[in-house]
Amino acid sequence: MSLMTMIIKMSEGLGKTCAIFFLTLLFSLPLGMIVALLRMSRVRIVSAITRAVITVLRGTPLMLQLLAVTYGPYYLFGATVARNKLIPVVIAFSINYAAYFAEIYRGGIESIPIGQYEAAEVLGYTKLLTFLRIILPQVIKRIMPSVTNEVVTLVKDTSMAFTVSYQEMFTIGKQIANSQTSFLPFIVAGVFYYLFNVIVDYVMGRIEKRLDYYK
């Protein structure tokens, strides 16, 4: 198989890799904020349960979580394994990354001086308005470097989908490598991931620059 043919064949899985990436961000970013707020709840039982869930999600391999979400319903309840593996893959990725984003959000929120809350209260702001208009913009600015690191990691983690036989780019590359007895497909995949991350890093950097007015 020629190099060009290999690249074309692997690029067919690039769309599925991008689907995992963008759908995971779409669901995990807002879910992470919800989890962070539950983690910071003054109701101890809610905070404790949320903390325990975060600990489990961060303390166990993403690969294991992918297998659990994809095949767990079958082994536990006899349910049919989803034909479209994208659904369980995105669910597993979103839950996993939401746990990491939740801790990033929590760190950002807790870094805001209490005086800003008090000043907003004096000005007549409600708690919701204070959070949305005063606290959240500052939090986003502060957590951008950490969020960027997680997003870059997500690009590489999409390759984990091969564990449930989802035909994304790395899975196709692995199949070609096995059939051709060649390491070249892995090099091609590495170049794909590198270029993807260059684009992601550039976009995130531009977003950070647009938030410079929060200095």
Residue 99: what pLDDT? Answer: 96
Q: Are 164 and 70 in contact (CB under 8 A)?
A: yes
Q: Which CATH architecture has domain 3-214?
A: Orthogonal Bundle (1.10)
Q: Are 32 and 94 in contact (CB under 8 A)?
A: no
Residue 37: what pLDDT? Answer: 92
Average confidence (pLDDT) over 8-14: 84
State pLDDT tens for residues 80-136.
777 788 999 999 999 999 999 999 999 998 888 888 888 888 888 888 888 888 888
State pLDDT tens for residues 20-78.
999 999 999 999 999 999 999 989 999 999 999 999 999 999 999 999 999 988 888 87
Q: CA 106 to CA 136: how far, in whole Å?
A: 11
Nearest of 189, 150, 195 to residue 173 by alpha carbon: 189
Taking phi first (over 0 means left), then psi (-120 to 50 degrees means alpha), and beta for anything else, what does residue 121 get? alpha
Residue 214: what pLDDT? Answer: 54
State pLDDT tens for residues 132-187.
888 888 888 889 989 999 999 999 999 999 888 888 888 888 888 888 888 888 89
Q: CA 2 to CA 184: how far, in whole Å?
A: 10
Q: CA 182 to CA 175: how far, in whole Å?
A: 10
Band (pLDDT 50/70/90 cuts) for residue 4 is: confident
Distances (CA, A) of 25 to 87, 140, 144: 14, 15, 14
Which of the 8 DSSP states describes residue 81? Answer: P
pTM to 2 decimals?
Answer: 0.89
Q: Are 163 and 29 in contact (CB under 8 A)?
A: no
Band (pLDDT 50/70/90 cuts) for residue 213 is: low
